[in-house]
Amino acid sequence: MGSLNIAILVLYALGMSTGQVLFKLSADRTKANAEQGFLGAVLGNGYFYAAFILYCVLTVLWVWVLTRVPLSRAYPFVVLAFVFTPAFAYLIFGESLDLWYVLGLVLVLSGLGVLIAKAT
């Protein structure tokens, strides 16, 4: 797997995490506008539409990636979203990450590193 494919897969995971941040912003705004009812608050929420559009674009990107990279090689990169998303949650929303959580993420990244080393 070439470095361009790896870069695209990393960007894909970053996009997935960005979508999750947008969904969280949407949820916070939906909660703040509870008087509109859940569905009304969601459907009147720009963050929700931004996340939805981003996920649509990412779906098309994923199909394109799979024309270049076998699924068994591409899918492990999705695990990067499990690293980026908590990092964003910490930085943007002030959510806490304890030592055990960080250790688990390090182990996940180690596993991805083994797969990348094997693929090159």
Model confidence pLDDT, tens digit, residues 58-103: 999 999 999 999 999 999 999 999 999 999 999 999 999 999 999 9
Task: List, in order, residues 6 or more apart from 88 with CB less than 8 Å away.
Answer: 17, 18, 20, 21
Q: Tally the domains of the chain.
A: 1
Residue 105 has pLDDT above 70, yes or no: yes
What residue numbers bound the domain in which 72 lies? 3-119
Task: List, in order, residues 6 or more apart from 46 with CB less than 8 Å away.
Answer: none
Percent of the chain predicted with pLDDT > 70: 98
49 burial type by CB count under 10 A (0-12 exposed, 13-18 middle, 19+ buried)? middle
Residue 69 confidence (pLDDT): 94
Residue 97 confidence (pLDDT): 93
Opening angle at CA 91, ends 107 and 29, nearest 5: 120
Residue 33 confidence (pLDDT): 83
Residue 115 has pLDDT above 90, yes or no: no
CA distance 105 to 79: 9
> First CA to last CA across the chain, in angstroms?
6
